[in-house]
Structure 1
Amino acid sequence: MEKKKVAFIVAIPGTADAFLKEHFVYLLKEYEVHLIANYEGSEDLKKEFEKMGVICHQAPIVRKINLKSDLKALFVVKKIFKLGKFECVHSVTPKAGFLTALAGKLAGVPNRVHIFTGQVWATRRGGVRMMLKMMDKMIAMLDTRLLVDGEGQRQFLIKEGVLSEKNSVVPANGSIAGIKLEKFVISKEVRKEERQKFGIKDDEVVYIFLGRLNHDKGVGEIFEAFNRLVMECPKARLLFYGTDEEGYDQKVKNYPNIKRGENYFYPGLTRTPFKSLQAGDVFILPTWREGFGMSVLESQALGLPVITSDAYGVVDASVEGVTGLRCKVNDPNSLYCVMKQYYENADIRKIHGLAGRKRVEEKFNNAVVSKAWLTIYKEMLEKA
């Protein structure tokens, strides 16, 4: 008996590598899995997916809105759908979601699935917000199954009129992928090695950030809060990992108490968060908007207490007063207060860190999330 055919659509294959790979392992046992993406410059990833048994298709999807490019991508994706005769197509990220919803409807694909993982428009205003929000509404209108990677985000989308209670669901306990605990193993040796890279001593308190360095992630508030904190807490350190999208690393010079190479370190991207995060004592993400906050889960898996904002979405990733503390969105003073609270209370840091690890083990093991996805597919496709 031939396996039913399922296609996943992303703008760049790195998205699938980060969030879908473990799901593919489960789905490949039951279905023929395809991955449609723009593989230009990512040939190695394509080979990795093909080695797994995933069938890859090239599509000229670009992340930024460009009418000419987007129309071309729409026709290519529609053609792939037509020729592939898929039982289901499943999109991730807004651009891929919009193209998939349109192409899937035009090609007559019976099951069209999208997972919402955050809204760019949440912090925008005016016409841009209206247009981006309308794209999400179109996805919700055209697709047949709508998933959300967190309950806080789902309620936000319901409140904004994008989704309804009846047409959306959060798989398992939330998060798009969960955490592969075999990788995220707490190690004193790794902690020592990672801190030695920067000359950080064991009694120094490292606030670590992992993500895109931009306005929406609250990086400006981190600098303001840390600039004040380090005057009173001389053993505080700040370590950033991620892509600097808005030149924040150069803005450090505007904060007199933040000293590059002394109490502030920015090595750039990391491909091994399960090691890099272990240099930290407290993970920090005062984001303005978030789908769920995978980096928050990763940090808790390594026993770190976490500081997050009270923005929708990210509130699902931790439990205030149990696995972490919260600050208010766009409030450097609020952030400073919780940073200082952790600096002065090593015992609370340890208690919250251990509670975070336990919560990830119980609720966000990647196997739990993958099995939930498989259950959704079986329920959906057995009717086909």
Structure 2
Amino acid sequence: MKKKICFVVSAPITAKVFLIKHFEYLSKEFDITLVANFETQADFEVPFVKNTKHIAIHRSINPLKDFLALIQLYFFFKKESFHVVHSVTPKAGLLAMMSSWLSRIPTRIHIFTGQVWHTQSGFKKQFLKFLDRLLVWFTTHILVDGQSQRQFLIANKIITDKNSKVLGKGSISGVDVQKFNPSSEIRNLYREQLNFQNNDVVFAFLGRMNTDKGILDLAKAFQKLHADFPNVKLLLIGFDEENMQEKIRQIQTENIIYFGPTPKPQEVLQAADVFCLPSYREGFGTSVIEASLLELPIICSDTYGLAETIIENKTGLRHEVKNVDQLYNQMKLLVQNEETRTVLGKNGRQYVLEHFSADEISLQWLTFYKDILK
């Protein structure tokens, strides 16, 4: 009989974006159950998962709802007697690790993929750090999706060198190397749809549009860049979480294109010439390695979670967090040097192929589970 693993996330989309390949590999050896806040019938359709369970785990703090979720998780874990409970995202992690400890699940795993408290201050920051330490206390194994993030967590006394590890080179899921494949045909199609000219140099951002992603810094740098080079464009791809469009319009209106969220980032990104992620905090930066696979040169901040995603001056360029002038200078350099863009992009694809293939990362997960459950 197969041993049983239960994964716990807040939103089903987290599992569908980051865990499906892991489920594919793990389901050959183990029975997989997924617990999440399933809000629609379509949410329940998750490949390679034997069972699903709806428990309303919300991202924001709500003492009553969180307590109800904790009780539901406890009784579900007691009933099913899983061999492992594995949580992803902070809120799901705290509730899942606490309830699985109470219900005597022998192996309790959490993976850190970023820290909300990094950009906070005062009591709120200290409280959120305390919750992360509490989460760790209830676990038996801690995974982190990057070495730089792991060292950051060790320095902040959230985890220790002995109780944590990174699988492979890092990344929670790697990248589908077949899916993110450069195509001149796709590039031309999207550039034509977006009315880009052949001599336009297009900078792209992909992700949740909010302050912590450095979107406003990117708009300020672009404003300065556009004054010098009228042929530059800025393509923003992703869900607008904080009314960023209106805030950006107060900085710059011309040559900024809002594409919105897309199920096909592997296609839309190919309209660009350079990928930018001026983030204030980042767990790993999956969008960076996705863009690198498409041979886009990278400009990103030097926040701790992005350290493994590029090789400085070989696959991309860095700037200090919140340093708009440095960001502008890196953008200007790549506008003026097409050959540099090409070299960085080709090096980036090779780097990702060698270290961040989705199949390689999932194989690391399978090996990890076989070791701890043998």
TM bucket (normalised to shorter chain) is: over 0.9
Question: In structure 1, which of residues 220, 224, 230 is the aligned counterpart of residue 226 of structure 2?
Answer: 230
Residues 331-346 of structure 1: pairs in structure 2 closer than 5 A: 331-346=323-338
Residue 326 of structure 1: CA displacement? 0.4
- 1:48 maps to 46
Choose which of 106, 110, 116 in structure 2 pairs with 1:110.
Answer: 106
SS in 1 for 2:304: coil
Among candidates 184, 196, 203, match of residue 188 of structure 1: 184
The answer as to 2:165 corresponding to 1:169 is: yes
- 1:53 is displaced (CA, Å) by 4.1
Residue 182 of structure 1: how far off its partner (Å): 1.1
Please show how residues 81-160 of structure 1 align to structure 2 within 5 Å.
81-160=77-156
Answer yes or no: is 1:351 the counterpart of 2:343.
yes
The 2-side partners of 1:152 and 1:45 are apart by 33
Cα distance in 2 for residues equivalent to 1:86 and 1:237? 51
Q: Give matches, 1:303-342, under 5 Å.
A: 303-342=295-334
Give distance in 2, aligned partners of 1:270 and 1:353: 23
1:366 to partner: Cα distance: 0.5
By how many angstroms is 1:152 displaced? 0.5
Maintained 8 Å contact 2:168/2:364: yes
Contact 1:11–1:96 (CA<8 Å) still a contact in 2?
yes
Moved beyond 3 Å, runs of 4+: none
User: Is the CA contact (8 Å cut-off) linking 2:78 and 2:103 kept in structure 1?
Assistant: yes
* 1:281 maps to 2:273: yes
What's the counterpart of residue 6 of structure 1? Answer: 5
Q: Deviations for 1:261-286, whole angstroms, at most 9, x for unmatched residues?
A: xx110021011111011111000001
Unaligned runs of at least 5 residues, structure 2: none
- Report the alpha carbon displacement of residue 224 of structure 1 after superposing the two structures with TM: 0.6
Secondary structure in structure 2 of the residue aligned to 1:100: helix
Residues in 2 aligned to 1:103 and 1:287: alpha-carbon distance in whole angstroms: 33
Shift of 1:247: 1.1
Q: Partner amino acid for 2:292?
A: Q
What's the CA shift for 1:198? 1.3
What residue number does 2:20 align with?
21
Shift of 1:343: 0.5
Partner of 2:258: 266
Q: Is the 8 A contact 2:16 2:46 kept in 1?
A: no
1: CA distance between counterparts of 2:161 and 2:249?
48
TM-score, normalised to structure 1, is 0.96
Shift of 1:246: 1.3
Contact between 1:308 and 1:315, CA under 8 Å: does it hold in 2?
no
- Tell me, what secondary structure is at the counterpart of 1:224? helix
Paired letter, 1:311: T
In the alignment, which of 203, 210, 226 is matched to residue 214 of structure 1? 210
Indicate if the aligned counterparts of 2:297 and 2:315 stay in contact, CA closer than 8 A.
yes
The amino acid that maps onto 2:32 is: V
Tell me whether 3-12 or 77-86 shows the greater mean CA deviation: 77-86
* Distance in 2 separating the partners of 1:121 and 1:301: 30
- Given that 1:309 and 1:315 are in contact with CA atoms closer than 8 Å, whether structure 2 keeps it comes out as no
Conserved? CA contact 2:219–2:248, under 8 Å: yes
The amino acid that maps onto 1:234 is: P
Contact (CA 8 Å) 2:118, 2:125: kept in 1 or not? yes
- Give the match's secondary structure for 1:329: coil
Report how far residue 252 of structure 1 moved. Answer: 2.8
Selected match of 2:195 from 196, 199, 218: 199
The whole-number CA distance in structure 1 between the counterparts of 2:361 and 2:235 is 30
Which among 214, 223, 236 is matched to residue 240 of structure 1? Answer: 236
RMSD of aligned C-alpha atoms? 0.9
C-alpha offsets along residues 77-96 of structure 1, whole Å, 9 cap, x if unaligned? 11111111000000000000
Render the CA deviation track for 1:333-363: whole Å, top value 9, x for unaligned: 1100000011001001000000000011110
Q: Distance in 2 between matches of 1:186 and 1:164?
A: 40
Distance 2:249 2:264 in 1: 28
Q: Percent identity?
A: 42
Equivalents in 2 of 1:252, 1:87: separation in Å? 49
C-alpha distance in 1, partners of 2:161/2:69? 32
SS of 2:345's partner is: helix
Equivalent-residue separation in structure 2 for 1:151 and 1:67 (angstroms) = 33
1:296 maps to 2:288: yes
